[in-house]
Amino acid sequence: MPEGDTVWRTAHHLHEALAGTELIRTDFRVPAFATVDLSGDVVDEVVSHGKHLMIRTPTHSIHSHLKMEGAWHVQRLETPWRRPGHSARAVLTNAEWQAIGYSLGILEVIARDDEDSVIGHLGPDLLGPGWDLDQAVARTSADPGRPVFLALLDQRNLAGFGNEYVNELLFLMGLLPTRPVGEVPDLRRVISRGQRMLDVNKSRVERSFTGSTRSGEDRWVYSRERARCRRCGTRLLNGQLGDRPTAERNTFWCPHCQT
């Protein structure tokens, strides 16, 4: 599942392949931007902010969000694509590499000066160079009655956590997903722990929360419904939590280890 670490790593690979090079072909396969041609532009940089990607030229930004299914692949010219062509939403080509964006949840080309219109609402980037823990704590604690699970998932508070990270983080910190954020004893410590988890995982494909990258051993609670807690042996529980019925997210917890 793409979360902040996946998007950071994707931006890193795209930056290595595209930054400082001229685009010789661009192909945007969404109706609103199908006629946009950025060939001849030089890519300045590729950056992430939480789960958002920005491929920047001097005048434009190619903004994308992977959502659940999306991915960017970077590969040599003339090599076969690794996903069906009909799922490609963007193709960027320079003299050596091609970057193909598949099944992107969001793809748009905007003026570089307009970036705030798409990412200005986001909280501090957990993996960004300007990570601001104080601001993240202030934003996350602004609604003390809100369940901590939802407060940490809210990208307006801090950008980069997804469902898997928040479930695993709350287990490690011994907190029920429904605990009001105002009753969390040390929210600063919770967020700091989560930021370190993202930072450790950002450079490896096999994400792990337990210390093991072996399949089936890498998570404490996430997607382990009906399994037993690795610490105490209690049967794990799962449910859904959201601010509204159409936005409920899956929760997993140990009723003994989390209070």
Q: Which residues are catalytic?
A: 2-3, 51
Tokens of 196: 């370190």
Rounded CA-CA distance 177/58 in Å is 43
Taking alpha carbons only, the member of 113, 114, 85 closest to residue 100 is 85
**C-alpha distance from residue 239 to each of 72, 151, 153, 242 (Å):** 32, 17, 16, 10
Rounded CA-CA distance 92/90 in Å is 7
Length of the chain measured in residues: 259
Residue type, 91: V
**C-alpha distance from residue 58 to each of 109, 124, 191 (Å):** 13, 24, 35
Taking alpha carbons only, the member of 184, 149, 182 closest to residue 164 is 149
On whether the CB atoms of residues 210 and 236 are closer than 8 A, the answer is: no
Residue type, 170: L
